[in-house]
Amino acid sequence: MPKLKCLNKLLTVGLTTVITIVFSPTVNAQSAKQHKYVVIGYVGGYHGLVDTTMVHASKLNVINYAFVNVKNNRAFLTNLKTDTINFRYLLGLKKANPDLKVVISIGGWLWSRNFSDAVLSDTSRQAFVASAIVLVRKFHLDGIDIDWEYPGMAGAGNIYRDADKQNYTLMFRDLRHGLDSVEHETGKKMLLSAAVGGFKTFLLHTEMDKVAQYLNYINLMTYDYSHGDSVAIHHTNLFASKQYSSDEYAASAVTDFEAAGVPANKLVMGVAFYGHSFKVIDNDQHGLGVKVVGGRIQLGGGYTYIKDSLINKKGFKYYKDKTAKAPYLYNADTKQFVSFDDEWSVKNKCEYVRKNDMAGVMFWEYANDKKEYLLDELDSDL
DSSP string, 140-170: T--EEEEE-S-TTS-TTT----TTHHHHHHH
List b or e across 316-331, with b for residues whose CB sees 16 or more CB atoms inside 10 angstroms: bebbebeebbbbbbbb
* DSSP for 342-357, written as a single string: -HHHHHHHHHHHHHTT
Phi-psi region of 287 (alpha: psi -120 to 50; beta: other; left: phi over 0): left
Asked whether the beta carbons of 354 and 32 are under 8 A apart, the reply is no
Distances (CA, A) of 165 to 74, 116, 162, 254, 263: 20, 10, 6, 20, 20
- Measure the CA–CA gap between 38 and 36, rounded to whole angstroms: 7
Within the chain, strands assigned E span 38-44, 62-71, 74-76, 101-107, 143-147, 191-197, 217-221, 267-272, 275-280, 292-299, 316-321, 326-331, 336-339, 360-364
C-alpha distances (whole Å) from 194 to each of 315, 339, 347 are 40, 26, 24
* Distance, CA of 217 to CA of 194 (rounded, Å): 7
Instruction: Give 264's DSSP letter.
Output: G
Cis peptide before 67 (omega within 30 of 0): yes
Catalytic (active-site) positions: 149
Q: What's the CA gap between 308 and 19, in Å, rounded? A: 38
107 three-state secondary structure: strand
